[in-house]
């Protein structure tokens, strides 16, 4: 449920000793019609927009003793944007997951696994690595990962290759051609955790990112290390908490990179069957103040990069279903109320109050790279972006069927109206999944 995003690092699992190999077919069909008003995109930012997104994912899981192999193919499309009645030419058609896993054979209090290949990643609170189930294409990575559980302690290591190294030619300003070797794009993490008690679980981790030059951007070089940690706990009365913080230190194009984020939440669920609950969450992500004028095509002009990089984690899970906010230069106060009238039905309503952290900094789109409207205003002193309300039903009438209708509205405050003056934005959707 959207109100309880806090989860522990992905655990190991115990696989029974099998005398014969088993093969399990899988099928997932996702359909998501949606409509928006004043979405802020396209030639007319105030125009209405609608789409019907669909994805079909088929696969097979093979198991033999401690060996597991998974293969999944998927086709992703928006209705009316394919190839008429012919075959799909959508670039998302292809492999979604394909990996081999060894492990799960438990010995005493030790359990672990090693997984290599293209795979979904769910790590920690999902802020930095997530499988993106809301998106029709999802999200998978070319990665090698290992996880070990020992009594109350855990260790997880991961390496992800985002883009392979390549060699390309670059034309210099003087007209000469030179050969450049790009180092590729790499990311990884190491996480150590310890479960002291239901009231206290601690994870300490370090993430790194290295982005090399490309033919489209031969001067790009970006490297940072990202130490941080997370503390969680639950009480028998239905109270739980979750807090984490991260630093990013490195360089980007020979300029210092110094960014950070912190988040904390507290939740309560009545300790009765189908009881109601509430959650309060606050998140702050650093951002760079800009000195350049975007109307004069000047760059932001900051001498230190302070815009936090959210990597490939969850987005609207924390920052609203409208998908208007990236995890950079942002403050978000969120208050949620939820109730489960039955075992098959959940309802959640969430209010967000969004602010720019650096008032003269950029308002980033959800991709964390492009910006909304003018992008930024170097003279702005007002932090307030606006207010968003999200409501959603989560209905599971059958074991294999899940339906989520929802509605969201975003009302712009002074800082957002300055960058993109539009009336309130509305978003309605129906997210349905059949999963075998």
Write the CATH number for 72.
2.40.160.100
Percentage of the chain beyond pLDDT 70 is 90
Distance CA 64, CA 20 (A): 6
Q: Where are the alpha helices (DSSP H) in 313-387?
A: 316-319
d(CA 128, CA 226): 11
pLDDT interval class at 380 (50, 70, 90): very high
pLDDT of 385 strictly over 80: yes
User: Is 70's pLDDT higher than 60?
Assistant: yes
Whats the size of the chain, residue-wise?
436
What contacts 189, CB < 8 A, 6 or more positions away? 123, 128, 129, 156, 157, 158, 205, 206, 207, 208
pLDDT of residue 127: 93
Return the pLDDT at 6.
Answer: 38
Report the pLDDT value the prediction gives residue 35, as an integer from 0 to 100.
93
Lowest average pLDDT, out of 37-41, 98-102, 114-118, 241-245, goes to: 37-41
Contact indicator for 348, 386 with CB cutoff of 8 Å: no
Residue 7, domain member (yes or no): no
In angstroms, the CA 182 to CA 55 distance is: 34
Cite the DSSP H helix spans in 232-372: 316-319
Could you tell me if 253 and 322 are in contact, meaning their C-beta atoms sit under 8 angstroms apart?
no
- CB neighbours of 394 closer than 8 A, spacing ≥ 6? 1, 345, 346, 347, 348, 402, 403, 404
Q: What is the pTM of this model?
A: 0.89
Domain-located, residue 102 = yes
Indicate whether 230 belongs to any domain. yes
Please determine, for residue 332, whether its predicted confidence score (pLDDT) is greater than 50. yes
Report the 10 Å Cβ neighbour count for 346. Answer: 20
186 pLDDT exceeds 80?
yes
Burial class (CB in 10 A: 0-12, 13-18, 19+), 318: buried
Strand partners for 386: 354, 412
Can you say whether residue 89 is alpha, beta or left, with left for phi > 0 and alpha for psi between -120 and 50 degrees?
alpha
Count of the separate structural domains present in the chain: 1
**Strand, coil or helix: 193:** strand
pLDDT band at 40 (very low <50, low <70, confident <90, very high): confident
pLDDT digits (tens, 9 = 90+) for 386-407: 999 999 999 999 999 999 999 9
Query: Could you identify the residue written with the tokens 């209905």?
Result: 395
Specify the long-range contacts of residues 106-112, CB closer than 8 Å, at least 24 apart: 106/14, 109/149, 109/150, 109/151, 110/148, 110/149, 110/150, 111/12, 111/13, 111/14, 111/148, 111/149, 112/12, 112/146, 112/147, 112/148, 112/149
User: How far is residue 251's CA from residue 248's CA, in Å, rounded to a whole number?
Assistant: 10
* Proportion of the chain above pLDDT 90, given as a percent: 67
Q: Is 65 left (phi over 0), alpha (psi -120 to 50) or beta?
A: left
Domain limits for position 123:
22-435
Asked whether residue 419 is domain-assigned, the answer is yes
Tell me if 15 is assigned to some domain.
no
Under 8 Å between Cβ of 311 and 128? yes
Q: Is the pLDDT of residue 7 over 70?
A: no
Residue 282 lies in a domain: yes
For residue 283, is it within any domain? yes
The token pair at 218 is 């031969």
Q: What is the pLDDT of residue 4?
A: 39
Q: What mean pLDDT is predicted for residues 115-119?
A: 97
Candidate from 124-128, 146-150, 316-320 with smallest mean pLDDT = 316-320
The tokens describing 122, both together, are 């769910």
How far apart, in whole angstroms, are the C-alpha atoms of residue 157 and residue 13?
16
Q: What's the mean pLDDT in 95-115?
A: 83
What pLDDT does 202 receive?
98
40's torsion region: left (phi>0), alpha (psi -120 to 50) or beta?
left
Question: Average per-residue pLDDT in the chain?
Answer: 89
**79 within domain boundaries:** yes
Q: What tens digit of pLDDT does each residue of 259-315 get?
A: 999 999 999 999 888 889 999 999 999 999 999 998 888 888 778 999 999 999 988
Q: Which of 267-301 are b and which e, b meaning 16 or more Cβ less than 10 Å from the residue's Cβ?
A: bbbeeeeeeebebebbbbbbbbbbeeebeeeeebe
User: What residues contact residue 296 under an 8 Å CB cut-off, 6+ apart?
Assistant: none
User: How do 330-342 and 222-234 pair as beta strands?
Assistant: unpaired
């Amino acid at each position: 449920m959207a109100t309880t995003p806090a989860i522990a690092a992905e655990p190991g699992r115990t696989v029974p000793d099998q005398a014969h190999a088993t093969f399990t077919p899988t099928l997932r069909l996702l359909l998501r019609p949606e409509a928006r008003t004043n979405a802020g995109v396209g030639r007319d930012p105030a125009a209405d927009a609608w789409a019907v997104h669909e994805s079909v994912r088929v696969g097979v899981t093979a198991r033999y003793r401690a060996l597991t192999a998974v293969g999944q193919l998927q086709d992703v499309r928006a209705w009316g944007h394919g190839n008429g009645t012919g075959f799909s030419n959508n670039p998302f058609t292809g492999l979604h997951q394909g990996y081999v896993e060894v492990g799960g054979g438990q010995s005493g209090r030790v359990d672990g696994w090693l997984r290599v290949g293209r795979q979904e990643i769910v790590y920690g609170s999902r802020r930095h690595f997530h499988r993106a189930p809301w998106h029709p294409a999802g999200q998978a990575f070319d990665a090698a990962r290992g996880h070990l559980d020992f009594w109350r302690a855990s260790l997880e290591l991961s390496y992800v290759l985002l883009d392979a190294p390549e060699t390309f030619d670059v034309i210099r300003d003087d007209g000469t051609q030179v050969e450049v070797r790009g180092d590729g794009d790499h990311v990884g993490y190491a996480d150590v955790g310890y479960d002291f008690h239901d009231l206290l679980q601690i994870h300490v981790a370090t993430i790194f990112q290295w982005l090399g030059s490309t033919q489209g951007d031969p001067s790009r070089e970006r490297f940072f290390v990202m130490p941080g940690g997370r503390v969680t706990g639950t009480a028998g009365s239905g109270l739980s908490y979750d807090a984490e913080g991260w630093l990013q230190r490195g360089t980007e194009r020979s300029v210092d990179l110094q960014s950070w984020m912190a988040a904390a939440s507290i939740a309560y669920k009545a300790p009765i069957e189908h009881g109601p609950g509430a959650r309060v969450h606050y998140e702050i992500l650093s951002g760079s103040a800009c000195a350049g004028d975007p109307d004069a095509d000047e760059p932001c002009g900051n001498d230190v990069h302070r815009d936090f990089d959210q990597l490939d984690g969850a987005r609207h899970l924390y920052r609203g279903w409208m998908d208007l906010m990236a995890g950079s230069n942002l403050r978000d106060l969120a208050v949620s109320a939820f109730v489960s009238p039955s075992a098959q039905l959940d309802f959640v309503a969430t209010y967000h109050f969004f602010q720019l952290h650096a008032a003269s900094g950029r308002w980033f789109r959800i991709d964390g790279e492009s910006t909304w409207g003018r992008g930024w205003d170097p003279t702005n002193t007002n932090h307030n972006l606006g207010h968003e309300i999200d409501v959603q039903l989560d209905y599971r009438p059958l074991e294999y069927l899940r339906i989520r209708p929802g509605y969201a509205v975003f009302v712009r405050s002074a800082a957002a109206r300055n960058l993109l003056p539009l009336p309130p934005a509305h978003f309605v959707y129906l997210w349905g999944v059949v999963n075998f």
